[in-house]
């Protein structure tokens, strides 16, 4: 059941979108209702463009991300993935602003894959000592992004597989020994209300100097996709620090006074209108006899199992400052929490999760 449930995380939300000359605001509301996702227009002071007339026609149901971008092309709006650390939302929200949707985008199930940029840099190291010869170094890299549908998390699951062929049919080689093969990976911090975005900077060898474009860029992005399942355990912080919480095969507890390396309280707000920050150590554990013990991917997404909220029930943003493995079945995570008020309650979820590979293929990409 867990395997089937995990695989469903990669399936898209299919929506029908047949709109003829309706105001943009109504079109966005229609898409939100049909998809079940929260979408809002951020028009700011100039709200006139939010009333543009749009027409979108799809003969059959299409994946949510594709429907959103078709609506964006018709209404000249785009998804703004920027985040606000200080004003998290209770539900994952897609924000639309004035502008054209991004190009070089593919739709793969519940994911949108975007080829964000290409970088071709050449360096000349003149050396420190007089007898050292100058050294030329070239770096070529691709930046790829994957967006998950609202309510799902993305984490890395290994190295992307990328094949690149230039316009002359020549294969762009893998990186040489001087270039790190492990691609840089960045993803969201634990900011409630944001959409999961993963970004890879994949380094390659240098293209042939005669190449003007890339005929084909293809490969797969390995990810662990996860989402909360069932109702979370919600307990006051005062109660949480003195007990062990169990959800599914995982437990969460705060270290005892002897185990803690730093105090739980770091800094509070100096005034009612200022945000504060707090620091805690938490320890995640898993049952050594459980099925998750046989697959370390369950650890990759384990930090999505818990969160914090203030006295008003507003979710608080947090970031991991460091992680250490106490044993094969326990990990200690230091978290930095921000918000208008101190964390009043802790939420501990069970997760559905799955290891998946997102395929992509782009053609006729110009070289820098």
Run of H or E residues at 4: helix 2-7
Q: What is the pLDDT of residue 334?
A: 87
Same domain, 220 and 296: no
d(CA 234, CA 348): 7
**Cβ neighbours for 29, distance < 8 A, ≥ 6 positions apart:** none
The yes-or-no verdict on residue 352 having pLDDT over 50 is yes
3-class DSSP state of 38: strand
End-of-domain residue from the set 108, 127, 157? 108
- Mean pLDDT within 329-335: 86
Q: Around Cβ 180, how many Cβ atoms within 10 Å? A: 10
Domains in the chain, number: 3
Mean pLDDT of all residues in the chain?
83
Distinct helix (H) and strand (E) counts, the chain:
5, 22
Question: In angstroms, how far is the first alpha carbon of the chain from the final one?
Answer: 48
Same domain, 219 and 250: no
End-of-domain residue from the set 108, 125, 142? 108
Same domain, 127 and 67: no
pLDDT band at 269 (very low <50, low <70, confident <90, very high): very low
Same domain, 20 and 62: yes
Same domain, 221 and 239: no
CB hemisphere CA count around 148 (13 angstroms): 27
pTM to 2 decimal places:
0.85
Q: What is the pLDDT of residue 180?
A: 47
Integer angstrom CA distances of residue 123 from 126, 182, 292: 10, 20, 46
Same domain, 173 and 237: no
Q: Around Cβ 181, how many Cβ atoms within 10 Å? A: 12
More confident of the two residues 145 and 59: 145
End-of-domain residue from the set 108, 140, 155? 108
Most confident of 63-67, 186-190, 272-276: 63-67
Q: What is the pLDDT of residue 346?
A: 93
d(CA 7, CA 1): 10
d(CA 149, CA 190): 16
Q: What is the pLDDT of residue 281?
A: 87
Same domain, 141 and 195: yes
Q: What is the pLDDT of residue 190?
A: 67
Same domain, 238 and 310: yes
Run of H or E residues at 213: strand 213-236
d(CA 131, CA 110): 57
Q: What is the pLDDT of residue 186?
A: 67
Q: What is the pLDDT of residue 270?
A: 41
pLDDT digits (tens, 9 = 90+) for 199-223: 999 998 889 989 999 999 999 999 9
pLDDT digits (tens, 9 = 90+) for 290-306: 655 556 778 888 889 99
Find out whether 146 and 134 touch, Cβ atoms under 8 Å: no
Q: Comparing 107-111, 222-226, 316-320, which segment has the lowest mean pLDDT?
A: 316-320
The yes-or-no verdict on residue 256 having pLDDT over 50 is yes
Same domain, 257 and 343: yes
The yes-or-no verdict on residue 68 having pLDDT over 70 is yes
More confident of the two residues 245 and 129: 245
The yes-or-no verdict on residue 268 having pLDDT over 50 is no
Partners of 315 in the beta sheet?
309
Q: Comparing 36-40, 44-48, 67-71, 148-152, which segment has the lowest mean pLDDT?
A: 44-48
DSSP annotation of 299 reads H
pLDDT band at 275 (very low <50, low <70, confident <90, very high): low
Nearest CA to 7 among 342, 244, 357? 357
The yes-or-no verdict on residue 368 having pLDDT over 70 is yes
- Mean pLDDT within 166-181: 77
The domain that holds 62 is classified in CATH as: 3.55.50.30
Which pair of structure tokens corresponds to residue 352? 């559905």
Same domain, 180 and 219: yes
pLDDT digits (tens, 9 = 90+) for 114-147: 999 999 988 777 766 666 676 767 889 999 999 9
Same domain, 99 and 151: no
The yes-or-no verdict on residue 33 having pLDDT over 60 is yes
Q: What is the pLDDT of residue 266?
A: 43
**Cβ neighbours for 70, distance < 8 A, ≥ 6 positions apart:** 17, 56, 58, 62
Same domain, 265 and 302: yes
Range of the domain at 300: 228-353
């Amino acid at each position: 059941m867990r395997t089937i449930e995990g695989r469903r995380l990669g399936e898209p939300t299919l929506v029908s979108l047949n709109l003829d000359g309706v105001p943009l605001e109504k079109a966005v509301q229609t898409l939100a209702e049909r998809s079940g996702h929260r979408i809002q227009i951020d028009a700011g002071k100039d709200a006139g463009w939010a009333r543009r007339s749009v027409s979108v026609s799809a003969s059959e149901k299409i994946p949510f991300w594709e429907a959103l971008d078709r609506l964006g092309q018709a209404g000249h709006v785009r998804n703004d993935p920027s985040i606000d650390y200080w004003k998290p939302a209770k539900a994952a929200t897609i924000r639309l602003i004035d502008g054209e949707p991004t190009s070089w985008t593919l739709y793969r199930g519940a994911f949108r894959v975007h080829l964000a940029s290409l970088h071709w840099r050449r360096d000349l190291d003149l050396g420190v000592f007089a007898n050292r010869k100058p050294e030329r170094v070239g770096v070529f890299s691709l930046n790829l992004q994957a967006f998950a549908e609202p309510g799902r998390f993305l984490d890395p699951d290994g190295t992307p597989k990328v094949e690149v062929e230039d316009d002359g049919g020549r294969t762009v080689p893998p990186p040489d020994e001087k270039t790190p093969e492990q691609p840089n990976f960045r993803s969201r911090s634990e900011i409630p209300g944001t959409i999961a975005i993963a970004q890879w900077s994949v380094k390659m060898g240098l293209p042939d100097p005669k190449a003007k474009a890339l005929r084909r860029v293809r490969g797969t992005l390995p990810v662990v996709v996860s989402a909360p399942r069932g109702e979370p355990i919600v307990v006051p912080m005062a109660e949480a620090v003195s007990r062990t919480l169990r959800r599914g095969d995982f437990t969460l507890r705060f270290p005892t006074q002897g185990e803690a390396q730093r105090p739980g309280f770091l800094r509070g707000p100096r005034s009612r209108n200022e945000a504060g920050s707090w620091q805690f150590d938490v320890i995640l554990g898993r049952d050594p006899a459980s099925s998750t013990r046989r697959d370390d991917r369950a650890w990759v997404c384990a930090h999505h199992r818990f969160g914090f909220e203030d006295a008003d029930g507003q979710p608080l943003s947090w970031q991991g400052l460091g992680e250490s493995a106490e044993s094969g079945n326990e990990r200690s995570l230091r978290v930095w929490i921000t918000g208008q008020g101190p964390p009043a309650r802790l939420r501990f979820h069970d997760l559905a999760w799955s290891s998946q590979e997102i395929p992509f293929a782009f053609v006729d990409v110009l070289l820098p």
